[in-house]
Structure 1
Amino acid sequence: MKFLEEKFVPLAARIGSQRHLVAIRDAFVVIMPVTIVGAIAVLINNIQGIFSKNGLNVVAIQEGYTNFITSTGIKDVMTAVNKGSINMMAILLVVTLGYQMAKGLDGDGIATSVVGLTCYLGLAPAVQTLANNYTLPTDKTITSIEVLTGDVASGGLASNKLDSNGMFVGMILTIIVAEIFVRLSRNDKLKITLPDGVPPAVAGSFTVLIPAIITVILVVAVGIYIEKFSGMNLWVIIQKFVSAPLNSVADTLGTAVLVEFLIAFLWVFGLHGANIVGSVTTPIFTPMLLENTAAFEAGKTGKDIPNIISGMNCFTRVGGSGATFGLIIAVLIFGKVQAERTVIGISVAPGLFEINEPITFGVPIVMNPVYMLPFIIGPTILGAASYILMDLGVIERVVLSAPWVTPPILFPFLATGGGIKAAIWAAIEIVLLTLLWTPFVMISNKQNAREA
């Protein structure tokens, strides 16, 4: 225990406070409401799938709901909401991350966001414009076919460079841009100072004018020449050498167990485990979850949903980190320690919305040798079991980003796009957690009785 307190905990704290990881984490926090809005839109357009032949097999309800949202225009509204949220995740991340990076470097957040977005859009591959006609030499009856290029393609940006597919590129590119731009902006020799009578907004833009010019030209030039010499643009390079390897390692049973273990383990030492671990996992898991969302929107179900691990917290943190909802029930039924019952009574309402800081610091869980063990092993076991059940197709996989404050059972139901089996498993989890916590509550009763 002493070794962990002196060596591991300080290391974890340093990782959690590393400025690049903090900036990424905070950027995702900023765009979280938009992600949830997009997920709600996808859910509204596709919730009728639970009544399909592969679901509850009430096809009349499925068809009636589909006709209703189509005829009323609701489907069009939700599609537009999704287009402006989930389908723009890379752009949103570039903007928010640029701001957060500049904030950590004491730079101009708005200017950094604009410069970062300029570099990203400048390097984003354009849709290939079609020729006015095509010759078909293998077919002697048809010599050419006319194409209305204005209706098919006009050199615009490919949509898959704006959504979750571009998030890794956006993160890496924005971090590089911010590091260069903010440092150049500090150089007094590169600043253009205007007279005092000039409006502040105008004066500010001229102050960063030369650093912006240098940064944009430098970063875009490097990106273009990399593509010329390698034959691959940044998106292909990142997908091949970063995203694919990370996804193959991340989406495993071992990772699911490790993530939940570390979050709970850090919490028992008073560190915010979700924030520390999330600063590393969020950039990896979020694009994977959005990939699941796209598959769900396309009508895929079961094992056709590509990823398992993303969004699994709806199963593992029942009542908050450490899965303390079982502790709430166990104390209410078996608890005899008045202090614990008082804290739990106050914590019931927050616990229903996955908030358990009152329990963690009030019971307490932190540095409590009795409750540390179930706090750690509860979510770890749930992580392993839930991963296996999703892998086997017993329960539905997570496809949507539901609000993390959604109550248990409803949380996985929404996150899986209306998964009935997922909701049933969540109810079973609560029973299992209560059984897990009960012996430790009784141990606490005995210890406090002896001390009294």
Structure 2
Amino acid sequence: MKFLEEKFIPLASKIGSQRHLVAIRDAFVVTMPLTIVGAIAVLINNIHGIFADNGLNIPAIQQGYAKMITSTGIKDVMTAVNKGSINMMAVLLVVTLGFNMAKGLDGDGIATSAVALTCYLGLTPAVQTLASHYTWANNTNNIDVLTTDIASGGIAANKLDSNGMFVGMILTIIVSEIFVRLSRNDKLKITLPDGVPPAVAGSFTVLIPAVLTVIMVVAVGTYIERLSGMNLWIIIQKFVSSPLNSVADTVGTAVLVYFLITFLWTFGLHGSNIVGAVTKPIFTPMLLENTSAYEAGDKIPNIIPGLYPFVAIGGSGSTLGLIIAILLFSKVQSEKTVVGISIAPGIFGINEPLTFGIPIVMNPIYMIPFIVGPVVLSVLTYLLMQFNIIDRTCLNVPWVTPPLLYAFLATGGSFKSMLWNAIEIVFLTILWMPFVQISNKQSAIA
């Protein structure tokens, strides 16, 4: 315990406060409402799938709902919402990350965001222009194409959504570091007379650093593509995001992530923030990939980014089971008083009153189920999703959504997943029960 307090905990705190990780975490926090509104739009356009023949098999409801959202224009509205949110996640991340990077460097947030976005869009591959006459590979069939009907010279849409998030993160960090440092150099500043409006004077102050940064970064990206034959998206997909995804989406990663989150909480550290600073850049694109697959009616590819609704029931440590166990089995008035205060927050996934009020922090009895419960649930849920016994999570739902409903919405309307969520609550209550009784006995002795 002494080793953990002296070595591991300070290291974890240092990682959680690392400047780049903090900026990435805060950028994702800003974009979270946008991913949620996009997920809601996808859900509204696709929720009738639960009445399909492979679901509840009520075709009248399925067809009636589909006809209603199409005829009323709701489907078009939701499609537009999704296009401006989830389908623009890379762009949104570049803007928010640029601002947060500048904040950590005491730079100009708006200017940094603008420069980062300019570099990102400047390097984004363009849509291929189609010729007016196209010959198939077998040279037997021809097809005439009106080029006025084909997008040409525009930016490829799949580089603006979650597919571009890794490129956006890496590029924005590099751009921010260069631009903010150049902006501090007084020799590169253009100072205008005092009578000039502040907005105009400010833009001239960063003019030279902006020009140098954009030309430098775009030139490097362009020559990398010319020399390697691969643009930044292909390079990062091949050497960064694909290897990370293949390693991340395993049961071992699930155990490690939820063990670390709960373990850090038992020492009073915000485990979700510390671990999330590392996992969010990896898990968020994977979850958005699931959303795209759900919208297209394809198989959901990833498991681990969607475990949270099934592993943090009542908050980190799955403490909803503790609340129920104390209400049913505890005879200690102080615990019941804390639980009385914690019921409402706990239902919405907020368990700090319980974590620090019981307390669970530095409590050797309650630390055990607090850590074991989520780890066991992460393994069981992963396996159930792996073998397609329950549906995989495909939508980003607000984390304050109550259990059962959370699982139902996050999986695009899966009753099987909601049933598993209910079974988990029973399991958690049974898991916490003996530890509540042990705690009662210790209180009686004391």
State if a TM-score over 0.5 links the two structures. Answer: yes
Aligned-partner Cα distance in 2 for 1:189–1:403: 48
**Where in structure 2 are the equivalents of 1:286-325 lying within 5 Å?**
286-300=284-298, 304-325=299-320
AA of the residue aligned to 2:13:
A
AA of the residue aligned to 1:356:
N
**Where in structure 2 are the equivalents of 1:384-395 lying within 5 Å?**
384-395=379-390
- Alpha-carbon deviations, 1:32-90, whole Å to 9, x = none? 00000000000000011111111111111111111111111111110000000000000
Which of 344, 350, 358 aligns to 1:355? It is: 350
Aligned-partner Cα distance in 2 for 1:145–1:264: 60
2:174 corresponds in structure 1 to: 176
RMSD value, Cα = 1.2
What is the Cα deviation at residue 123 of structure 1?
0.1
- Alpha-carbon deviations, 1:187-230, whole Å to 9, x = none? 00000000000000000000000000000000000000000000
Which of 435, 439, 447 aligns to 2:442? It is: 447
1:5 corresponds in structure 2 to: 5
What is the Cα deviation at residue 150 of structure 1?
2.1
1:86 aligns with 2:95: no
1:267 corresponds in structure 2 to: 265
1:203 corresponds in structure 2 to: 201
**Where in structure 2 are the equivalents of 1:185-204 lying within 5 Å?**
185-204=183-202
SS at match of 1:197: coil
1:104 aligns with 2:104: yes
1:396 corresponds in structure 2 to: 391
Aligned-partner Cα distance in 2 for 1:118–1:446: 64
Which of 216, 221, 224 aligns to 2:222? It is: 224
SS at match of 2:304: coil
Aligned-partner Cα distance in 2 for 1:2–1:271: 16
What is the Cα deviation at residue 145 of structure 1?
4.9
2:52 corresponds in structure 1 to: 52
Aligned-partner Cα distance in 2 for 1:136–1:282: 43
Which of 242, 249, 254 aligns to 1:256? It is: 254
- Alpha-carbon deviations, 1:87-141, whole Å to 9, x = none? 000000000000000000000000000000000000000001112334679768x
SS at match of 1:310: helix
Closer, same or farther: CA 7–139 of 1 in aligned 2, 3 Å: closer
**Where in structure 2 are the equivalents of 1:20-39 lying within 5 Å?**
20-39=20-39
Aligned-partner Cα distance in 2 for 1:446–1:276: 35
What is the Cα deviation at residue 312 of structure 1?
1.1
1:151 aligns with 2:149: yes
2:377 corresponds in structure 1 to: 382
Aligned-partner Cα distance in 1 for 2:143–2:261: 60
Aligned-partner Cα distance in 2 for 1:147–1:430: 58
Aligned-partner Cα distance in 2 for 1:64–1:317: 36
- Alpha-carbon deviations, 1:257-277, whole Å to 9, x = none? 111100000000010000000
Aligned-partner Cα distance in 1 for 2:46–2:137: 45
Which of 244, 247, 272 aligns to 2:245? It is: 247
1:342 aligns with 2:340: no
Query: What is the percentage of aligned positions where both structures have the same residue?
Result: 76
AA of the residue aligned to 1:214:
L
1:405 corresponds in structure 2 to: 400
Aligned-partner Cα distance in 2 for 1:138–1:214: 48
AA of the residue aligned to 1:107:
G
1:427 corresponds in structure 2 to: 422
- Alpha-carbon deviations, 1:287-343, whole Å to 9, x = none? 00000000000012xxx2111111210000000000000000000111111111111
Aligned-partner Cα distance in 2 for 1:413–1:153: 38
Which of 282, 285, 290 aligns to 1:284? It is: 282
Which of 161, 164, 184 aligns to 1:163? It is: 161
SS at match of 1:275: helix
Aligned-partner Cα distance in 2 for 1:286–1:146: 41
Aligned-partner Cα distance in 2 for 1:269–1:220: 45
Aligned-partner Cα distance in 1 for 2:389–2:66: 27
SS at match of 1:369: coil
Higher mean C-alpha deviation, range 53-62 or range 209-218: 53-62
Aligned-partner Cα distance in 1 for 2:422–2:328: 18
Aligned-partner Cα distance in 2 for 1:320–1:236: 38
Closer, same or farther: CA 434–135 of 1 in aligned 2, 3 Å: closer
Closer, same or farther: CA 145–51 of 1 in aligned 2, 3 Å: closer
AA of the residue aligned to 1:118:
T
- In the superposition, the TM-score normalised over structure 1's length comes to 0.97
AA of the residue aligned to 1:186:
R
Aligned-partner Cα distance in 2 for 1:137–1:247: 34
Aligned-partner Cα distance in 1 for 2:126–2:139: 31
SS at match of 2:379: helix
Aligned-partner Cα distance in 1 for 2:206–2:40: 40
AA of the residue aligned to 1:172:
I
Aligned-partner Cα distance in 1 for 2:434–2:139: 79
AA of the residue aligned to 1:366:
V
Aligned-partner Cα distance in 1 for 2:139–2:285: 44
SS at match of 2:445: helix
Aligned-partner Cα distance in 2 for 1:41–1:377: 36
Aligned-partner Cα distance in 2 for 1:91–1:286: 14
Aligned-partner Cα distance in 1 for 2:137–2:58: 52
Closer, same or farther: CA 203–441 of 1 in aligned 2, 3 Å: same
- In the superposition, the TM-score normalised over structure 2's length comes to 0.98
What is the Cα deviation at residue 369 of structure 1?
0.9
Q: What 5-or-longer segments of structure 1 have no aligned partner?
A: none
